[in-house]
Amino acid sequence: MLDKMLLGRYINMDSWVHRLDPRTKLLASFYFIFAVFLADSWLGYAILALFTLLAIKLTGLSFKFFINGVKPMIWLILFTVVFQILFTNGGHVFWQWGPFVLSTGGLESGAFIFMRLVLIIMMSTILTLTTAPLELTDGIEHLLRPLARFGFPAHELALMLAIALRYVPTLMDEAQKIMNAQRSRGVEFDQGSLMQRMKAVVPILVPLFISAFNRAEEMATAMEARGYRGAEGRTKYRQLAYSPADRQVRWALLVLTLALLASRFWPVG
């Protein structure tokens, strides 16, 4: 299942979202995540969900494709939701045992956390699926360029973030291969007690870390062999420029902002 994770992958297409300027996609994604954390009502999350569905439609990819991409992280999401439900008190209490509480406030908080995590994962996935690694690096570097006047390593940080993000699916694929190799030797990852399952993960982590360090060393050697010296003296083949579609995104974000503000005064939720 780990090899099905979409976050960090790029699919080369010619959709409306693919053609957007990477700076627009980065800023829109950051703003959307910020809006998700500010939403505090069912109507607010419904508006954000509709905005996400529209963005998915404009990528040219199916909604089922994105759902399958969320599945590898479903256990982390469910663990967070259950933790939120059992440790949040408020409203009518259905059950209580020691520090654990099941209440209407906890259920609502758990539902909000679930929607929040799913929306953030989907929007982040849209960003990486529709933005090439080089475009992502250029976009981050352009956004951080004003800080370069104060000695901030904008290019190096942008490159580091882009490489780290692109290595997520690579490491997931590597982890899946190691798990398959361990299963062929009789290791069971989904059987036994919690402690037994945790111990079964250890044989995965060690070779995974070794593989990650080896890949990092190979990349550093390749970059050094090609004469990479950071941003100094570098020119760009493709210059970033905003298009009418980018202005449409700004208007869409303005409409989203007004809708979220209106949802705070709407008598629903």
Q: What is the mean pLDDT of residues 109-125?
A: 90
Asked if residue 164 and residue 98 are part of one domain, the reply reads no
For the cut 80, the answer to whether the pLDDT of residue 151 exceeds it is no
pLDDT of residue 17: 92
Q: Which two tokens stand for residue 90?
A: 């408020």
Higher pLDDT among residues 250 and 185, named by residue: 250
**What pLDDT is recorded for position 4?**
58
**Mean pLDDT, rounded, for 75-91:** 79
Q: Is residue 110 part of a domain?
A: yes
pLDDT given for residue 194 in this prediction: 59
182 within a domain of the structure (yes/no): yes
Q: Which residue has the higher pLDDT, 49 or 189?
A: 49
Is residue 269 scored above 50 in pLDDT? no
pLDDT for 82 equals: 83
For the segment 14-33, the average pLDDT, to the nearest whole number, is 92
State pLDDT tens for residues 29-66.
Answer: 999 999 998 888 888 999 999 999 999 999 988 888 88
Rounded-to-5 percentages of helix, strand, coil across the chain: 70, 5, 25
pLDDT band at residue 115 using 50, 70 and 90 as cut-offs: very high
Which has the minimum average pLDDT: 18-32, 93-107, 114-128, 134-148? 93-107
**Interval 179-198 mean pLDDT:** 70
* In a shared domain, residues 119 and 249: yes
Same domain membership, residue 212 and residue 195: yes
Of all residues in the chain, the percent with pLDDT exceeding 90 is 22
Model confidence at 95: pLDDT above 50: yes
215-258 pLDDT, tens digit per residue, is: 888 888 887 787 776 666 566 667 778 889 999 999 999 999 99
How far apart, in Å, do the first and last CA atoms of the chain sit?
36
Neighbours of 67 (CB within 10 A): 11
Identify the pLDDT of residue 47. 92
pLDDT at 120 over 80: yes
Provide the domain count of the chain: 2
Instruction: Answer whether residue 7 is part of any domain.
Output: no
Q: Which of 107, 103, 108, 109 is nearest to 90 (CA)?
A: 103
Is residue 208 included in any domain, yes or no?
yes
Give dist(CA 157, CA 160) in Å, integer. 5
pLDDT at 25: 94
Question: Do 251 and 124 reside in the same domain of the chain?
Answer: yes
Region of residue 163 (left: phi > 0; alpha: psi -120 to 50; beta: else): alpha
Q: pLDDT band at residue 16, thresholds of 50, 70 and 90?
A: very high
Whether residue 2 lies inside any domain: the answer is no
Q: What's residue 265's pLDDT? A: 77
Higher pLDDT, 235 or 109: 109
Region 148-160 average pLDDT: 78
Supply the pLDDT for residue 205.
79
Residue-number span of the structural domain to which 150 is assigned: 137-226
In sign, the C-alpha dihedral spanning 149, 153, 155, 157 is: negative
pLDDT of 32 reads 94
Domain assignment of residue 85, yes or no: yes
Q: Are 35 and 157 contained in the same domain?
A: no
Pairwise CA distance, residues 97 & 106, whole Å: 14
Identify whether residues 153 and 205 lie together within a single domain: yes
Query: How confident is the model at residue 176, as a pLDDT?
Result: 78
